[in-house]
Structure 1
Amino acid sequence: MGTARRIRTRVWDRYSASDPGLLRLMAGLRTVGSIGLTLLILSLLDISVTHMVAGAMAAMVSTFAIREKRVRDQAVTLALGLPTAFASVSLGALLNPHIVIGDIAFIVLIFGAAYVRRFGDRGSALGMIGFQIYFLSLFVHATGSGLPSLYLSLAIAFACSAVMRFALVPETPERTLDRLRQAFRARTAQLVATQIELLDAEPERLESVIADLRKDIARLHEAALMIQGALDGGTDDETTAALLQRRVADAEIAVERLGLLLLTARSGERADTLTLHLPNAPLPAPARRVPDEDDALRKLRTELRALHLLVTRLGAGDPGTAVARVRNRLLAYRDEENLPSASLAVQDAFRGIGEAARSVLGLRLALDGPGDESDDTPETIRSREEFEAEDLALAGEGETEQDRTGLKRRTTRAAIQVSAGSGLAILGGEFLSTQRWYWAVLTCWVVFLNTSSTGEILVKGYRRLIGTVCGVVAGVLLAGAVGHHTVTAFVLVLVLIFAMFFTAPVSYALMSFFVTAMLGLLYSLLHTYSVHVLVLRIEETALGAACGIIAAVLIFPVHTDLRTDEQLVTVLERLRDVATSAVAQLSGGPAVDLLDMARELDTALDDLRRSTHPLTHPVTPLRGRRRTARYLVALLETCAYHARSLAATAELVPYSTSIAADPRLAAVGVRLEHNLDVLIAHVEDVTDERPRDSRGGKDADDIKDAARGRAARHGTVDDALRTEPSIASMLEGGGSGVPRSGSVTFRVLRHLQRLDEGVAGLARPLGVSVTAGRAGRKSGRPAA
């Protein structure tokens, strides 16, 4: 019985880690449930198959279009969506016979649906509903005489969507956050399991294990970002949100740092943080072991398994006495006298296990409260007191998109682009088919959704075409197998819709495959199926993608390199803010909200990572540029990790008894700020050389002047990065000895040095000169 339960728990943890928050599962179940319930009611009312298809599509649209977090907001949007759907289907039915007027009205509708996205999630949902329902009227060939039956189908579809959303498969921010926390725990356990493999891996398998380690670190960071995004609606107050955010950040930093320490422990040299973020990065050479260290490594392996158990049992309400003893044993490694006799690198790994166990304790305290304290050891009591002090401290504690107007607003430019592309798609689609030209318009519409540059549109159009071609083959096979069996066809449609929503966040090509395969069945239900129709679907898809790309290239284009440069500036600005504020606090400056700063840095870095997808795509012909983009993003991820670590430590300074501020660190903050300002000004110089009207962002002169103004205040107007002796040696000059390995001071210095080296390392891919003095000359190499 116990074995079966453990197996079920292990399987569920694997799935929970693969689908954080069960968001894909819930979306698929809610959509399929809405469609199934709609079809059941419509069949009982003896509605025609055509209008049943319309009801099913309306149920799907009314379910997936609404993305707001709060239940009340979802209800208001759903209520507004029904009259929007009525107006859209009425317009489509009345204008279908009038080709020219209908096409013009469709383009106006497309512009409005894209433009209202500026009003947030509600505007996006209503625009999506308006567009998709008009498309539905074209798909089922709606007429004025059939409007009453269509109104009934739409009303039932929206009602069924409400029943599924608010009653049968309810989704609240609190439940979503709770499932995201479980996914974070599961992904943390997976990362620790991979770290155990890292310690045991043979040299020939090391590269493969490191690749798995990189993937697990990225997945853990993704879960942490999703938790940060769900905190506002999923917690009762700001204090609780800040507390949970800090605990998650502590756990992420501690477990990622443990992997680096383990890699160093099994190697003959200190591992570079970049190794955990850059594929094919050079690995440290293996170390020669002595017998005593072999004993320590065996013990290290045992304690890693104990840490894995501790993380796995984090989701249990009662950790149990045995788990409490394991926790106490691991926390003891935070004390120097409990470390085994081994090299400094191996001892550091034991310290890392102790810090990881502390972060697990912090998560448990944040999620479940104090719990049973009867078995606490002095080290556990000390850790609890540190968390209580942090909790008390938390309890006491430029231009935006909305500011832009006209064509500087991204939604306005996108609305004009998609309208122009749709006009081209209508013209071209009419030449291919006077009956199904709207497929080209749909493709043109969707390739503009959630894209911000020409390269992203190109990649999305390519993936949609690939998915469509494969889906046509599947559609032919399914339609031939099902024939005219209506019930079987509808069941398969529901299965394909579930697969479509389940795979949408993972692969756009897979989603397009399932959509096209589903269409083959829908055409069978409407008795309009033929191989020619599905081949026409490929042609219309290719045409729509081409029209979208043409519009993106010719009308107010946002080039991929320009977009990535803008995102790079944002990341560098956020990195500067976090790093300099953390160093200022570590050197005795005033306390600031470093948690929010670190969150903004992570969000900006995630945006940059998505923006570089066209540059790093396997089919890109610019191999050198792809390598540069990957290296740059990996280096920024490394810098962000060290900045987050410094921020987490700096927040402890005002109330900690073990961490004291050191005024000598202020000089490091000045150099970091200067170097980052130089990088920002350089990227803006490169960006400013491109056409100004395609940017739509902040004015380059304003940003450059601000960056150079900050540099001027520190007397560093030169345009070269400055490198000076290491942080540790600079502190030694103040008369203090080298801090012992494993101490908080040593860790702060290590993070500062790595961050300083990482920022200096950005000079090479960005083409900025580096000098040891105050003068320098900037090279002419372009930004990545």
Structure 2
Amino acid sequence: MFAAPDPGRVRLRNAARAVLGVGLAVAVSHLATGSIGATIAGGLTALLALFTVTDARVRDQAVTTAWLPVVGVPVLALATALHGLPLARDAAFLGVVFAGVYARRWGPRGQALGIFGFMMFFMAQFLHAVPEGLAELYAAMALALAASSLVRFGLWCWERRLPQVLAPAPFAARGLERPTTRQAFQNTFACALALGVGHLVSDQRWYWAVGTAWWIFVNTASRGETLVRGFRRVVGTVAGIAAGLVVAVPLHGAPAPTAALVALCVFGIFYTAAPSYSWMMFFVTVMASLLYGLLGVLHPGLLLLRFEQTLVGAAASALAVALVLPVTTHAATDAWIRRAMLAVRHCTAESARRLAGEASADPAPYVAELELLLARVRVSLAPLLHPLSPLRARKERARQVTAHLDDCVRQARGLAEVAADPDASHDARLTAACQRVETALRALLPAAEAPASATGLGLAAPQHHPGAERALAHLHDLERAVAGLAGPVLSSPRSPLPEG
């Protein structure tokens, strides 16, 4: 896990910056309030601000961070006001769940604000917050946001220009077919079920089940993705509970070692979040155990209860994706593959135009989009590629799709590099090669989405330039990769693939 690729050391820098930002927020919150509860609230606020705000540009990150208290302040007030009214509190919590998921339709900013609102309500349950303590919590929130922003936008600031990939056409629909609307109903159903069963398991810690059901739906798009995420959450939680029994329980909330271990957990959460959800949940669970130690309520039975509530939340999520507006893994993956094929088409066409002498043609953005789409296809196929998946034919199909798309990305990237060479000229043989790629693409796409022919690009007369030779080689390999996708993409997902 810790040897996973980290291009530009982005994960390492992000994790180190998070430790500094959360540590500063905890320090100023504790100095200002002197309250353990407010200090924990400040640390959690800073962690959420650094973790959930993922806009591509620094300026957009600052705007989203400034909006966090606009959502957090009223939600926290509502949660504390309803502390003694269980039915109203539970109804309000489900309302926050629905609104928080629905807000994802507004992109990274909507997702960050939705998560922050949910977690403020969750935090109020975690701390058993009442209206009398609201002023301290507000002070901790404000100080924590200021401290984490000082680190993020002042002491340790860097621009992350990440192109955004939009949802594929089948999911960018209206009404209940819109992914955010569908997930809002699914997640609310899952949280309502988790809330009800969680109350039966424990009338004091029921919110753990709700938190599990909520987080399992973050960044998932299909039934399979949600089930795998739930499984990984349970695995990470079990490992974290085992570590908590060994590490957190014997500490009895001793401040200095607890603070050091919490800092280590913050680093682990940020460093492992992208490559492994199970490892991230391991660190989250250990950190929660340490925080309960600080509050003086940690004991082995509490950790067992956390495991039970995690199972409740995971089971509620599984039922929700099976019963409420389900989207199969095949449908979700098929949509992402079609988007990837369109990106291949755009990349090929732009490269051909660039080689033909059009200086304004630029395939680089389409290569970047294709790489992001490949990553999204991998996420969508993860349930089928999981070691415990019993669906052998579909697992082999998923493996072939991934291999051929890998090759598509590799050849598209090479073709774009050749096209970027100002000395590379065009060879008329590329016309035929581009048309063969287009033909292979049209076979994979529905008629409404099939790309137009590459003919009429204004290609020059035959010239045997080294750049053209390299481009031709990339196009031939790209044609083979696209043709290789025909078998796994066009055949029935449940039928075995032909050998050879």
TM over 0.5: yes
Structure 1 letter corresponding to 2:27: L
Which piece of structure 1 moves more, 126-135 or 22-31?
22-31
Q: TM-score, normalised by structure 2?
A: 0.88
1:667 aligns with 2:390: no
The alpha-carbon deviation at position 781 of structure 1 amounts to: 5.8
Matches within 5 A, 1:56-135: 56-135=43-122
In 2, distance between residues paired with 1:749 and 1:443?
51
Structure 2 letter corresponding to 1:28: A
Distance 1:585 1:543, change over 3 A: same
Structure 2 letter corresponding to 1:672: V
Q: Of 10, 20, 25, which residue of structure 1 is paired with 2:12?
A: 25
| Residues 587 and 663 in structure 1, CA contact (< 8 A), matched pair in contact too | no
Which piece of structure 1 moves more, 97-106 or 68-77?
68-77
Distance 1:749 1:498, change over 3 A: closer
Residue 564 of structure 1 is matched in structure 2 by 333
Residue 680 of structure 1 is matched in structure 2 by 445
| Residues 487 and 497 in structure 2, CA contact (< 8 A), matched pair in contact too | no
| Residues 194 and 209 in structure 2, CA contact (< 8 A), matched pair in contact too | yes
Q: Which has the larger radius of gyration?
A: 1
Structure 1 letter corresponding to 2:470: R
Matches within 5 A, 1:250-329: none
Residue 550 of structure 1 is matched in structure 2 by 319
1:489 aligns with 2:212: no
In 2, distance between residues paired with 1:79 and 1:171?
16
Distance 1:674 1:104, change over 3 A: same
What do the CA deviations read for 1:299-347 (whole angstroms, capped 9, x no partner)? xxxxxxxxxxxxxxxxxxxxxxxxxxxxxxxxxxxxxxxxxxxxxxxxx
Distance 1:749 1:151, change over 3 A: closer
Residue 125 of structure 2 is matched in structure 1 by 138
Structure 2 letter corresponding to 1:145: E
Structure 2 letter corresponding to 1:663: A
What do the CA deviations read for 1:762-782 (whole angstroms, capped 9, x no partner)? 3333457xxxxxxxxx99969
Residue 191 of structure 1 is matched in structure 2 by none
In 1, distance between residues paired with 2:278 and 2:383?
15
Residue 455 of structure 1 is matched in structure 2 by 224
| Residues 169 and 335 in structure 2, CA contact (< 8 A), matched pair in contact too | no
Say what the alpha-carbon RMSD is for the aligned residues. Answer: 3.3
Query: Does 1 or 2 have the higher relative contact order (CA < 8 Å, sep 6+)?
Result: 2
Give secondary structure in 1 for the equivalent of 2:400: helix
Which piece of structure 1 moves more, 99-108 or 671-680?
671-680
| Residues 584 and 669 in structure 1, CA contact (< 8 A), matched pair in contact too | no
In 2, distance between residues paired with 1:763 and 1:569?
12
The alpha-carbon deviation at position 541 of structure 1 amounts to: 0.7
Structure 2 letter corresponding to 1:747: R
Give secondary structure in 1 for the equivalent of 2:192: helix
Structure 2 letter corresponding to 1:753: H
The alpha-carbon deviation at position 580 of structure 1 amounts to: 4.3
Distance 1:51 1:672, change over 3 A: closer
Which piece of structure 1 moves more, 435-444 or 26-35?
26-35
Give secondary structure in 2 for the equivalent of 1:612: helix
Between the two proteins, the alignment pairs up a number of residues equal to 491
Residue 172 of structure 1 is matched in structure 2 by 158
Structure 2 letter corresponding to 1:502: Y
| Residues 393 and 497 in structure 2, CA contact (< 8 A), matched pair in contact too | no
Distance 1:22 1:780, change over 3 A: closer
| Residues 767 and 781 in structure 1, CA contact (< 8 A), matched pair in contact too | no
In 2, distance between residues paired with 1:78 and 1:46?
23
Q: TM-score, normalised by structure 1?
A: 0.58
Residue 487 of structure 2 is matched in structure 1 by 764
Give secondary structure in 1 for the equivalent of 2:259: helix
Residue 520 of structure 1 is matched in structure 2 by 289
Which piece of structure 1 moves more, 443-452 or 63-72?
63-72
What do the CA deviations read for 1:568-605 (whole angstroms, capped 9, x no partner)? 11112222332345446657889633222333322222
1:755 aligns with 2:478: yes
| Residues 336 and 373 in structure 2, CA contact (< 8 A), matched pair in contact too | yes
Give secondary structure in 2 for the equivalent of 1:158: helix
In 1, distance between residues paired with 2:211 and 2:493?
46
The alpha-carbon deviation at position 433 of structure 1 amounts to: 0.5
Give secondary structure in 1 for the equivalent of 2:128: coil
Residue 297 of structure 1 is matched in structure 2 by none
| Residues 394 and 493 in structure 2, CA contact (< 8 A), matched pair in contact too | no
Residue 414 of structure 2 is matched in structure 1 by 645
What do the CA deviations read for 1:393-428 (whole angstroms, capped 9, x no partner)? xxxxx9869974322321121112111111111011
1:613 aligns with 2:378: no
User: Structure 1, unaligned stretches of length 5 or more?
Assistant: 1-14, 178-225, 230-397, 682-703, 715-733, 769-777
Give secondary structure in 1 for the equivalent of 2:445: helix
What do the CA deviations read for 1:648-671 (whole angstroms, capped 9, x no partner)? 33454xx53xx4433344233333
The alpha-carbon deviation at position 633 of structure 1 amounts to: 1.6
Give secondary structure in 2 for the equivalent of 1:558: coil
User: Structure 2, unaligned stretches of length 5 or more?
Assistant: 456-460
In 2, distance between residues paired with 1:149 and 1:667?
71
Matches within 5 A, 1:231-242: none
Structure 1 runs (4+) deviating above 4 angstroms are 15-18, 398-403, 583-591, 778-784
In 2, distance between residues paired with 1:403 and 1:639?
25
In 1, distance between residues paired with 2:67 and 2:352?
50
Residue 392 of structure 1 is matched in structure 2 by none
| Residues 82 and 89 in structure 2, CA contact (< 8 A), matched pair in contact too | yes
